[in-house]
């Protein structure tokens, strides 16, 4: 699923979450190659449907990597991005 971030860091800031729980990107191998491909395709489709041609995809891994929600998710950031290093 894709939802809007409640604390956006960009003009467009969406979160993409898989239905099946894994704590972080560290455990991505728990998904079959087909599941992983479907997730990546969904991320690309979500960005396109949001009207984005150029954007960032971010996955924070672990507390020191900035992860605060321990369910694998990707951030789609489009437009002006604030509060993040280039």
DSSP the chain: -EEE-SS-SEEEEEEE--SS--SSGGGGGGS-HHHHHHHHHHHHHHHHHTT-SSEEEE---SGGGT--S-S--EEEEEEEE-SS--
The pLDDT > 90 percentage for the chain reads 95
Domains assigned to the chain:
2-81 (3.30.428.10)
Q: Which residue in the list 13, 21, 71, 73 is annotated as catalytic?
A: 73
User: pLDDT tier at 84 (50, 70, 90 boundaries)?
Assistant: confident
The two structure tokens encoding residue 33: 């190659």
pTM of the model: 0.91
What is the per-residue pLDDT across 1-22, written as a single tens digit (0 to 9) for each?
999 999 999 999 999 999 999 9
Does residue 73 carry a catalytic annotation?
Answer: yes
């Amino acid at each position: 699923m894709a939802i809007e971030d409640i604390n956006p860091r960009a003009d467009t800031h969406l979160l993409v979450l898989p239905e099946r729980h894994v704590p972080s990107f560290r455990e991505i191998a728990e998904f079959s190659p087909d599941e992983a491909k479907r997730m990546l395709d969904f991320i690309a489709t979500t960005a396109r449907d949001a009207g984005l041609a150029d954007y960032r995809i971010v996955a924070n891994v672990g507390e020191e990597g900035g992860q605060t929600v321990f369910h694998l998710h990707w951030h789609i950031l489009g437009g002006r991005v604030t509060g993040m290093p280039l």
